[in-house]
Structure 1
Amino acid sequence: MTTQVVILAAGMGSRLGRSLPKPLTELADGRTIMQQQFDNIHHAFGKNVKVTIVVGYKLDHIIEAFPEASFVYNEQYDQTNTSKSLMRALNASQPGGVLWMNGDVVFDPAVLDRAAAMMARDQSFVTVNTSKVSDEEVKYTTSAEGYIQELSKTVKGGLGEAVGINYVSRDDKANLLRQLARVDDQDYFERGIELAIEQDRMLVEPVDISDLYAVEVDFAEDLERANLFV
C-alpha cells in the first residue's frame, strides 16, 4: 500500500504577519517550512510517497513551489478551520491510512521514523510532547489503557501537547471522516478525533516525541525557536 501524506496549508496564517502562506516562510538554512517537511517525508518514506497539500490562501504560490504534489482546494479557507481541510483531504484519499500534518510544523526527521513504525501496524496515533503544557496549545489526557481520551485546547490537567503530526488507520478513516463532517466549521481537526474516540470507540495512541524537536510556527518567537534546530 502506498504511503499517503497530507499537509494542511489552506489557512491565512495571519498571526505570523507574512504576505505569503505561512508554510512558505524561509528558515535559517534557506529552506521553507514546507520544504523541510518534504525533506523529512522523503527521508522516512522515499521519493515515491504520495503527498497531497490542502491549499486555499494564495494557493498559486504553494502549487508553484511544489508542482510534484497533489492538491485539494478548501474554497472556504477563510471561513473554516483545519477540521474541514482534513475532511476534504481524506475524502480525496485512496483506500488505506493517511498521515497528516499541519503545514507550519518544523520538526526533527526522526519524528517520521518513529511514526513509520506505528503506520506499519496501521495504528491511529497522535504525536505528543510531554515536556511542556501551554494553555494555548492542544492538550491531551489518556484512558486507563493508555489511549488518547481528551484532545483539545480546553483540556484540564493535560499530560502534554499534541504536536500536529497524526495518522488515521484504514479502518478508522470512515469514522473520523463522518465526525469531521459533523463538527463546526471553526473546529480544529482534533475535535473530530475526540468525537470518534468518544462515539465510535476509535483507539488512538499517543506517540511521545518529547526527546525530538517539533515547533509549530504561529508567531515570530516560534520561528526564532525553530531556527535553532535547522
Structure 2
Amino acid sequence: MTLQTVILAAGMGTRLGRALPKSLTTLSDGRTIMQQQHENIRAAFGSDARITTVVGYRAETIIDAFPDADYVHNESYDETNTSKSLLRALTATGRGGVLWMNGDVVFDPRVLGRAVELIEREQSFVTVNTSSVSDEEVKYTLDERGFITELSKTVEGAAGEAVGINYIARQDKRALQAQLQRVDDQDYFERGLELAIAENGVRVSAMDISDLYAVEVDFAEDLERANEVLA
C-alpha cells in the first residue's frame, strides 16, 4: 500500500549528549535508529511508502545518510517543539492520512504490521503501551468507547504510555493542522491532538503494542534498553 510517513528528527537531542542528531545514533546491531525505522516502514508498507523527514539540527548529516527520502526543514528547531515540526510535515504531505513517528523510537517491526488494518479503514490512532506508566512519558486516558480523551505528560489516572508512533486519518488531518497552528511553539504535537479530540470531535484509537518492544531513546539508559531488546 502507498502511504505517507513522517519521521520527526529536527531536534538537537541534548539529553543523549551526542554531536550528531539523535536519529543517527548507532545501535548494537550496527544500524542507526533512523535506519531501523526506514527498514520497518518498508517491511510493512513496501517500497512505495513515501518517507518525509523533518530536519533541523545538523540537517545535512541526515540528508547525506538517507538521500532518497523527502525532506521538510524546521529552521526554528532550536526554538520550537514537535508540534511545529509535525505541522510543517502535514502541510507538505497533501490531503491523505499520515503515519508519523518520533525520530528516536526503536521499535519491533511488527508494530507497523499491526497498524495496517487501522490505516486501511482510515482510523486515527496513537500507539500505546499499557505495561508501564512513567512520569517522564506522554500518558493517556480513554472514554467509555475506548477512544483517547487526554494525552500529555501530566495526565492523572493514566491507562498507559504513548509510544511515539501515530496516524492521522485523512478526514481528521485538517483539524489537527489547525490545532497545531494554534498551540505554543514549545508544545509537543500531543497537545494539538488532544485539542482536536476535545474541540473537533476527532476520534483517536489506542493501538496497544504492550506485547512488542518500542523504546524512545531520550537518555543513555534508554539506549541501553533499546540495545537489550535488539540483542
**CA offsets per residue over residues 17-67 of structure 1, 9 Å max, x none?**
000000000000000000000010000001121000000000000000000
- Separation in structure 1 between the aligned mates of residue 180 and residue 28 of structure 2, nearest angstrom: 36
- Separation in structure 1 between the aligned mates of residue 160 and residue 4 of structure 2, nearest angstrom: 27
- Separation in structure 1 between the aligned mates of residue 13 and residue 70 of structure 2, nearest angstrom: 21
Partner residue in 2 for 1:18: 18
- Structure 2 spans left out of the alignment, 5+ residues: none
% identical equivalent positions: 69
1:47 partnered with 2:65: no
Is the partner of 1:13 in helix, strand or coil? Answer: coil
Q: Give the aligned residue type for 2:8.
A: L
Q: How far does residue 14 in structure 1 lie from its aligned partner after superposition?
A: 0.3
Q: How far does residue 2 in structure 1 lie from its aligned partner after superposition?
A: 2.8
Matches within 5 A, 1:1-230: 2-230=2-230
Q: How far does residue 176 in structure 1 lie from its aligned partner after superposition?
A: 0.2
- Separation in structure 1 between the aligned mates of residue 217 and residue 77 of structure 2, nearest angstrom: 19
Q: Give runs of ≥4 in structure 1 deviating > 6 Å.
A: none
Is the partner of 2:90 in helix, strand or coil? Answer: helix
- Separation in structure 1 between the aligned mates of residue 207 and residue 131 of structure 2, nearest angstrom: 13
TM-score of the pair, normalised by structure 2: 0.99
Is the partner of 2:128 in helix, strand or coil? Answer: strand
Contact 2:95 / 2:173 at 8 angstroms: preserved in 1? no
Q: How far does residue 116 in structure 1 lie from its aligned partner after superposition?
A: 1.1
**CA offsets per residue over residues 191-226 of structure 1, 9 Å max, x none?**
000000000000000000000000000000000000
Q: How far does residue 229 in structure 1 lie from its aligned partner after superposition?
A: 1.9
- Separation in structure 1 between the aligned mates of residue 229 and residue 153 of structure 2, nearest angstrom: 26
Is the partner of 1:172 in helix, strand or coil? Answer: helix
Is the partner of 1:218 in helix, strand or coil? Answer: coil
Q: Give the aligned residue type for 2:5.
A: V
Q: How far does residue 94 in structure 1 lie from its aligned partner after superposition?
A: 2.2
Over the aligned positions, Cα root-mean-square deviation in angstroms equals 0.7
Q: Give the aligned residue type for 2:18.
A: R
- Separation in structure 2 between the aligned mates of residue 141 and residue 101 of structure 1, nearest angstrom: 20
- Separation in structure 1 between the aligned mates of residue 65 and residue 55 of structure 2, nearest angstrom: 12
Q: Give the aligned residue type for 1:210.
A: S
Contact 2:2 / 2:45 at 8 angstroms: preserved in 1? no
Distance 1:66 1:33, change over 3 A: same
Is the partner of 1:20 in helix, strand or coil? Answer: coil
Q: How far does residue 88 in structure 1 lie from its aligned partner after superposition?
A: 0.2
**CA offsets per residue over residues 69-89 of structure 1, 9 Å max, x none?**
000000100000000000000
TM-score of the pair, normalised by structure 1: 0.99
- Separation in structure 2 between the aligned mates of residue 135 and residue 56 of structure 1, nearest angstrom: 28
- Structure 1 spans left out of the alignment, 5+ residues: none
